[in-house]
Amino acid sequence: MLKFFDKKPTSYLGIDLGTGSIKLVELESADGRPRLVTYGMIEIETDVSHEDSKTDRAKAASVLRSLVDRTGARSRVAVAALPNFSVFSSVISLPKLDEKKLAEAVTWEAKKFVPMPIENVVLDWKILEETKIEEGTAPVPEEGSKVEPAGGENNKAEDRNDVLKEQRLAKCKAVVRVLLTAAPKHLVERYVAIFSMAGLNLLSLETESFALSRSLVGNDPSATLIVDVGSITTDLTLVENRIPVLARSIDVGGKTITKAIADTLGVSPERAEQFKRDVGIAASGTPGGEEGIAKIINQSFGPVVNEMEYTLDLSKGSSKSRVEKILLTGGSSFLPSLAQYLTDSLSIKTFVANAWARVSYPKDLQKSLENIGPRMSVAIGLAMREIE
């Protein structure tokens, strides 16, 4: 969305402003492949997407500046991501038009689904694919057919425009599928201000879904469901032909499970966290006293599994191919037995994704990078944006 530079930098910072931490990854291009320059993370409770006082901005900027200094990052050119729940997105079909007319059509379509005045959002769109239409295959409203408004006088103009759109689609020789995204202007301005205060040039903003698709899916065209299990929320992203086409978020994360264990057993959050990491999610029959803990974890994570089932059902109607695999990422994706539990529950192969798989790095860092990989997925994908 934001472009400030004419001269192409040699490396880029991918910065993920999470609710429980700030992550940084710097990548450079090495023969066309991303190569790790440096990385780092600071644990801090911050919620940039909701908190907007001068104090909050200054705090986030100060920590970000400290992280850049501590990692020894060379670049000051950054790419950041807006949280999925704050960005509205939709895939729409439009007649193939020239760029100016297509931009106007996209803006008109955006008015139908963005739940705020269009002048208060930053719109971005990308053509996903173009489909040629054979003569006679597209439905055309009968000549002289009457347009019946769906909901009163206020909707007549919109309903007529919908019918006109159908007529244009029917008469055109090609249709384009467009991914449309809209972000609140005030949120975009907030990110720009924080990065400016931190002494960084914000090159672009995108959604977390695109960053995850870039780092975890790459060029694999198969339909994939990415499950990002964070500390407070779990984000589901359906990726089809390398493009996120559906994103959903649910307010259940690692801290939700920890709190449930602490409250039920009457133990400290620290003790509950250790129980969670030792036992993990499992089917009935877990030996000894661990069965009760496993049951609490299963119940806490249940809404996420339900949402995954719902998303998979939605995908059957919108996707061209069946979801072939589920990729886990995020700080809580290492919950013991989670991948196998989801494989058994949903009958789809589930894996903890390797976010570093397409990045070159020194072999002596492999163990350290693997341990933090799920937490760095978004930052890695962001740093890749301008390299690939």
User: Which pLDDT score is estimated for 147?
Assistant: 31
Q: What's the whole-model pTM score? A: 0.81
CA 158, CA 142: separation in Å to the nearest integer?
19
Domain 88-183 sits in CATH at 3.30.1490.300
Look at the domain 247-352 and name its fold. Answer: Nucleotidyltransferase; domain 5 (3.30.420)
Q: State the CB neighbour count (10 A cutoff) for residue 202.
A: 22
Contact 223, 316 (CB under 8 A): no
Q: For residue 107, what pLDDT is reported?
A: 87
Residue 234 near residue 304, CB atoms below 8 Å: yes
Question: Which pLDDT value is given to residue 296?
Answer: 93
Digit-by-digit pLDDT tens for the chain (388 residues) are 454 444 567 899 999 998 788 999 999 998 878 999 999 999 987 777 777 778 888 999 999 999 999 999 999 999 999 888 888 877 788 888 888 888 888 888 888 878 888 889 988 888 877 776 654 444 333 333 333 333 344 444 444 455 445 545 455 678 888 888 888 998 999 999 999 999 999 998 888 999 999 999 988 989 999 999 988 889 999 998 888 888 888 999 999 999 999 999 999 999 999 999 988 886 545 555 567 888 899 999 999 999 999 999 887 765 556 899 999 999 899 898 999 999 999 999 999 999 999 999 999 999 999 999 999 999 999 999 988 7
**Any bridge partners for residue 352, and if so which?**
328
In this structure, what DSSP letter does residue 231 have? S
88-183 and 247-352 in the same fold: no
151 Cβ contact list (under 8 Å, min separation 6): none
CATH topology of domain 11-85+184-218+358-384: Nucleotidyltransferase; domain 5 (3.30.420)
- pLDDT reported for residue 6: 46
Instruction: Map residue 360 onto helix, strand or coil.
Output: strand
Whether the Cβ atoms of residue 261 and residue 295 lie closer than 8 Å to each other: no
Residues pairing with 89 in the sheet: 181
Q: Give the position of tokens 């206020």.
A: 154
pLDDT tens track for 132-167: 665 444 433 333 333 333 334 444 444 445 544 554
The pLDDT tens digits of the residues spanning 262-288 come to 999 999 999 999 999 988 886 545 555
Domain boundaries, the chain: 11-85+184-218+358-384, 88-183, 247-352
